[in-house]
Structure 1
């Protein structure tokens, strides 16, 4: 996410996106290492299946993940990307709460709705140059 936002951002917004990119890379390294070296567990939780990997410092890793994904959108400078970041920032805890109540695939459903914002951003008309 942060790399995509960095590539799409206006030049004046790119400087503030290096923090989310660094957090995303660090988070990816930790999660990849844990996935490659630790057992993955699965357990039935009501109507869902919970998968897990023993990740040390999970709160720090989750914070890095959220800063990388949501932070890049919120800092990207584009109004539509900022709106997507706000929607996702509200949706993440809502989906977490629903998942804990054993509603399956809440994040997938929410991501489908949020993707409409991305579609609107991608299909926006090209910017017309300002006449001076």
Structure 2
């Protein structure tokens, strides 16, 4: 999320460009899902530019934004980490992935049966949906996304996980205060860190 439609478009284009570079540098097929994450994040910001242009509401762009932000990322991140991880850490990551799948199922059900709305609030957009057991879903979401990075067994992904764990609360606080949304800058930094991870990955033997 950015503070305007223009900012979302510019940031989305930049993050997508980083995603293209990540995918182009992949040398192992199993690294592809995680390397493609910036493409998803860039598309997510471009979708939000459409939410800005629509003035919020409950239209298709709002629903698409929520689907990517909630169930898709809850599965994509742990699945990507599991694919790229060394064999010794895959069993533990498989449990984390299972949590992500269960969490995504709960999130998807909530989005399917309840309304999803967006409201322009100064330099931010507030999203609202009716989810049952929200605390449990938040815990599952964080375990699946942040937890998978911290348990990856990869030094660069560990750094990314620490950055996400530290930076996300700050972005969330600024967003909740309706001061300015910094999620787009956060996504850009994460994407650059993933590009560094892709570049440092050893070539397959």
Report deviation, 1:20. 1.3
> CA separation in 1, counterparts of 2:175 and 2:163?
18
State whether structure 2 residue 153 is matched by structure 1 residue 77: yes
State whether structure 2 residue 103 is matched by structure 1 residue 62: no
Output the TM-score relative to the length of structure 2.
0.59
Structure 1 residue runs of 4 or more that deviate by more than 6 Å after TM superposition: none
Structure-1 residue corresponding to 2:79: 3
User: Structure 1, residues 28-79: CA drift from partner, whole Å, max 9, x if none?
Assistant: 1011111111111233433322111111111110110000001100001001
2:115 to 34, 39, 60: 39
User: Structure 1, residues 75-104: CA drift from partner, whole Å, max 9, x if none?
Assistant: 010011011000000011011111012244
Structure-1 residue corresponding to 2:93: 17
Report deviation, 1:12. 0.6
Classify 1:116/1:38 alpha carbon distance in 2 versus 1 (closer, same or farther; 3 Å). same
Stretch of structure 1 that moved more, 3-12 or 41-50: 41-50
State whether structure 2 residue 189 is matched by structure 1 residue 113: yes
Output the TM-score relative to the length of structure 1.
0.89
Classify 1:75/1:125 alpha carbon distance in 2 versus 1 (closer, same or farther; 3 Å). closer
Bigger radius of gyration among the two: 1
For these two proteins, the number of residue pairs brought into alignment is 129
State whether structure 2 residue 174 is matched by structure 1 residue 102: no
**Which runs of no fewer than 5 residues in structure 1 stay unpaired?**
none
Structure-1 residue corresponding to 2:7: none
> CA separation in 1, counterparts of 2:165 and 2:201?
26
Question: What SS does the corresponding residue of 1:56 show, helix, strand or coil?
Answer: coil
Structure-1 residue corresponding to 2:128: 52
